[in-house]
Amino acid sequence: MDSPTIPLISRRDALIAGAATATAAAVSSSAPAEAAAPKAAAAAGPRAKLSLNVNGQVHSLELDTRTTLLDALREHLHLPGTKKGCDHGQCGACTVIADGRRINSCLTLAVMHDGGQVTTIEGLGTPQNMHPLQAAFVRHDGYQCGYCTPGQICSAVAVLDEIKRGVPSHVSADLTARPLLSAEELRERMSGNICRCGAYSNIVDAITEVAGSRT
């Protein structure tokens, strides 16, 4: 029985076949990367230009539209005083004052404040020239670890303004009368700012002192 004939190929044909195989492999391996590029661009999200007046200084930014005000302050404007705690609006560590009202900066997008004014703890005072509430927190030991303190102080500044403007709270007995400056009122109004170290009584004392000096 005759043995099967093995086809012979030249060295040139072998080189051509090898080059073709390598080219096909390269094309197939680059296809996923090329397909991933549009997906990566889409994942980055649309960007928007905005202007923020932070602590009296105007900043022009171009951000992913999903960027929170908290991340814009910390990561883009390098103002680390505003803290990221729960990132769900539950602890108050990220409290800032936006257009005169206290807000949780982790729950609002930076683009929502285009053209607005934002005050962070850095804008209230400095170690050499502290805001009255900052000084009162020091005197009354209104902080322990200090992580929640920037949010506590920003919130307290807004609380005193709310009381001055006659804004009632959940515990106000008369919604039309000027709110009383009581420990109960302060505890209720500051209830959105959690202090895991438990310095609540000292915080109330600090706010009461500053409020008393303004009456």
Regarding whether 181 and 142 lie in a shared domain, the answer is yes
Question: Is 35 part of any domain?
Answer: no
Domain boundary among 104, 124, 144: 124
Regarding whether 111 and 69 lie in a shared domain, the answer is yes
| 89 φψ region: left (φ > 0), alpha (ψ -120 to 50), beta (else) | left
Residue type at position 42: A
Question: Is 25 part of any domain?
Answer: no
Question: Is 130 part of any domain?
Answer: yes
Question: According to the model, what pLDDT value does residue 193 have?
Answer: 97
Q: What percent of the chain has pLDDT over 90?
A: 72
Domain count, the chain: 2
Report whether pLDDT(45) > 60: yes
Question: Is 94 part of any domain?
Answer: yes
Report whether pLDDT(1) > 60: no
Regarding whether 141 and 79 lie in a shared domain, the answer is no
Residue with tokens 């206290």: 102
- Please give the Cα distance from 86 to 152 (Å, whole number): 15
Residue 186 burial by CB count (10 A; 0-12/13-18/19+): exposed, middle or buried? Answer: buried
Question: According to the model, what pLDDT value does residue 40 have?
Answer: 56
Question: Is 134 part of any domain?
Answer: yes
Regarding whether 120 and 71 lie in a shared domain, the answer is yes
Report whether pLDDT(11) > 90: no
Report whether pLDDT(63) > 60: yes
- Please give the Cα distance from 28 to 164 (Å, whole number): 69
Q: What is the band of 214 on the pLDDT scale with cuts at 50, 70, 90?
A: low
Regarding whether 106 and 89 lie in a shared domain, the answer is yes
Regarding whether 88 and 51 lie in a shared domain, the answer is yes
CATH of the domain at 201: 1.10.150.120
Question: Is 164 part of any domain?
Answer: yes
Q: What is the band of 44 on the pLDDT scale with cuts at 50, 70, 90?
A: confident
Q: Which domain holds residue 117?
A: 46-124
- Are the C-beta atoms of residues 106 and 88 closer than 8 Å to each other? yes
Question: Is 16 part of any domain?
Answer: no
Report whether pLDDT(103) > 90: yes
